[in-house]
Structure 1
């Protein structure tokens, strides 16, 4: 720490030892860390997977970087100078969701680096959900034939996702970027689909059906934009019927569905590029895993000798 440069980190006490063993207990090391499997990346953010060397679930480290002063000053007007940084805000909201019984990943730590009290970088660490992949990756695996999914399973998955999204919206939570890549899925012990959501944000007020365009309609449009390359119209209507809890859709809801379709078209180009990036990351990670396996195989005989 210097006069202008301060680091702060908060860890869930139950995970302190595990984070230390993985080298995830110091801000400087976390912000400089490289070499792990990349789960997501943009110009100022990234998410990397950090395996647990002692076995058990690993962690995901999500970092936000604000390298330029204009980015830091913008954060001042968004409340980060005196209030919560992005990592801490997500940490609290994920815990609030979990306390309400809503499906969310478990946050285990957050931290920040400030320069002159302006946020220069911050992060959130969440526990890995073993066996889970994002919905875009899952859909690609189904389309390629690598992931079996029969008709009954497909219907169950669509309905369960609709129920979970409806529950989150009814509780007054929003995601802001509710695309498939931000939703994790895996089978639960009974084989039923189980979902986990990321990056939630609070929204004031409950879902209202009488307004022309609202935040929850935007989120349904984002889900639709992600779903278009992988689903049928019947799949999408089944999702909406389950979300609204209606076997027959009244005129007001049908009008809203038309608006959701219009909003989804606006997101299509954006999501097409994101799906392409997701495919590139998955292919890169498959190649990395294969190379690591080959390296481990070459090292084994030398150790035995």
Structure 2
């Protein structure tokens, strides 16, 4: 199922669904406060402020769309655990963007954590290039280096998204559910524009870069794809709500570092499912990556 743009559209659909509980909560709040002086919040802001907020969240959506599509493409060329571990490099870029965009100072333990994360990611990336995963005998035409490069490049955009979100959440006092829903809205708009174009433009193999029609045909013909697609849409709604709540309560950089905790579960499941072999260099890289993440978050 090689449809990176369609998968990005499904992700934005999951984010867009967050508008449903937000609207229900807003309606309930208004009904409870009927006759009383409404508590100050986003729902009491002017129409101009709300419209400006709607437009503002288009920027992080652009970063999200580009990063997600690049990640989906990168996953075609490398391995699941490598994909997840290299996402830990996002904290490196988030650290620099924190200085540039938020004018916030990083301390020594932050820089030491960034150095360890970079070293750990390099080890993980090297293991995917040096070693051949015999368990993946059906994917001999992989290009791990290309996949790793695309994943790291996507982290620059993802880090930009998180830091910009942090800035906008503070400036416009946007509820987490609304912020995720707005990004989902803009993402669906972008998908509606991009998918028809990608369905016409041909790649070097003569096939469309992505075909929404083919994707839905494949989903309709596969019960497994139907279940996993529905699961992804629902899980991404919760995932982004929790993620943006962390950004709002802590910081975008903290969200990047906490996000690296997913690595352990992806790696363990890949090993259990027999999708790849055990490599010592990958284990060492993972331990260094986790150490750097813990140091950055002042857990060590």
Fold agreement, TM-score > 0.5:
no
The bucket for the TM-score relative to the shorter chain is under 0.3
Determine which structure has the larger strand proportion and give its number.
1
Q: TM-score scaled by structure 2?
A: 0.27
Q: Which has the higher contact order (CA 8 A, sep 6+)?
A: 2
Q: TM-score scaled by structure 1?
A: 0.27
